[in-house]
Structure 1
């Protein structure tokens, strides 16, 4: 059975492709690929993020409060209409991330958010998480706001499953066609040469990892996929300041005055 409740600390790092390959090579001494990545180079994760009409959840998150929360729908790959997906509440309090999720069928998930009515219980669902999501939907007026997907490579520590490191690339997003089954296309969020690494640990990171991060000059950064997409959206929507231009006035050249000759003066006298 898939783990449905997570409590861990997350640290994020940005790097280019060259640094990814060198760092990843060193990690393999201490870590191993997860089961799916042993068969495939990457696996695709797609998400729908929900928010209020005024984007209250992401606005609050960007203000960096001690406590923040969000709701998203997640699938692995592009799901079919009746595929199993996961609805997740993700909370963060003073650095500790708590993620709670339940499996749902895709149509059940859409209807759950649309109506706020909990679906009829099935064995694959987590009843406690369903109740928490129901309360969340009553607390906020939510609608789908963002589609976001990426390709992931994940590793676990050989010593303990409490340490997990993921590398995400090809992060793509869109604010239309907000259905998971519509396909995993969208606008690129990062530069083509960038990778996002996340270190996820239930406790402190081991000494060997700290030394590796220092060796490769990798330092923690604050990076939220949804948050950075929203900041990019605001930047693109900003109205540029345009200096008013005065209309150009065409000033006609002064009329030429013809002075009559002496003969003409006598004639017109």
Structure 2
């Protein structure tokens, strides 16, 4: 999945305990296998305006919303390749388009100091960066991910994200993933990603375990936490 550049699918999120996760893993055994990149240390730089326009609008739950981020799978130095992603959601369908380039080039494109690649996705990113200008890295957000795909339907994927952390300092993908934790101790976030419906065996397992779909935006949760922390400190974001 790391080499895939265009995605269109439904995504469903579930917050669960490690005990519930194990029950899901047991139920998955006949139907799922580890993805090609079964474990990843994912690091993101979420891009936003100085007033956090993108995430504030996203939290209003509009019909259409989008996020822009730079992602790596592990530590990425300035000249290492990273992904620049434009993630859109329209009427519950998630569309993700991305390109790969060196991290320093990606940051230069975001800052308007370099031209975006002359490709369809490059032009889409250029338009978004210009529309929301000025954009800059707003939050570093990392997590450890275990990924699985369906045996009969490889488009059906299950991921478990743990150790979700964010910070507003050291906004580079070259630093270690330290920061404020976004999950209670002993919890993980599961995401189901499917082009169509969820398999019945998974629906049945979720019901048996009392696991219900939740709305959990990693960047959105980090932003709310930032608001709370800064209000306590006497400072408020716009």
Q: TM-score range by the shorter chain?
A: over 0.9
Aligned to 1:138: 130
SS at match of 1:75: strand
Report how many aligned residue pairs link the two structures.
232
Compute the displacement of 1:36 (Å). 2.7
Distance 1:233 1:78 in 2: 24
Pairing partner for 2:65 from 54, 68, 74: 68
Aligned CA distance change for structure 1 residues 191 and 140 (closer, same or farther; 3 Å)? same
The question of whether the paired residues in 2 share the 8 Å contact of 1:73 and 1:85 is answered with yes
Aligned to 2:159: 166
Compute the displacement of 1:115 (Å). 1.2
Distance 2:69 2:17 in 1: 28
Higher relative contact order (CA 8 A, sep 6+): 2
| Per-residue Cα deviation, 1:11-53 (whole angstroms, up to 9, x for no partner) | 000001111112112112210111232xxxx320000001111
The question of whether the paired residues in 1 share the 8 Å contact of 2:85 and 2:98 is answered with yes
Instruction: Specify every segment of 5 or more residues in structure 2 that has no aligned partner in the other structure, as ranges.
Output: none
Distance 1:50 1:22 in 2: 36
Does residue 51 in structure 1 map to residue 43 in structure 2? Answer: no
1:1-269 aligned within 5 A:
2-37=3-38, 42-115=39-112, 117-119=114-116, 127-141=119-133, 142-239=135-232
The question of whether the paired residues in 1 share the 8 Å contact of 2:116 and 2:123 is answered with no
TM-score (norm 1): 0.83
Distance 1:82 1:233 in 2: 30
Distance 2:146 2:33 in 1: 11
Distance 2:191 2:99 in 1: 23
Compute the displacement of 1:116 (Å). 5.9
Compute the displacement of 1:240 (Å). 8.8
Quote the RMSD (CA, aligned, Å): 1.6
- Structure having the higher strand fraction is 2
Distance 1:50 1:240 in 2: 24
Distance 2:63 2:103 in 1: 32
Compute the displacement of 1:238 (Å). 2.1
Distance 1:239 1:88 in 2: 33
| Per-residue Cα deviation, 1:161-196 (whole angstroms, up to 9, x for no partner) | 110010000011100110111222212111121100
TM-score (norm 2): 0.93
Aligned CA distance change for structure 1 residues 26 and 120 (closer, same or farther; 3 Å)? closer
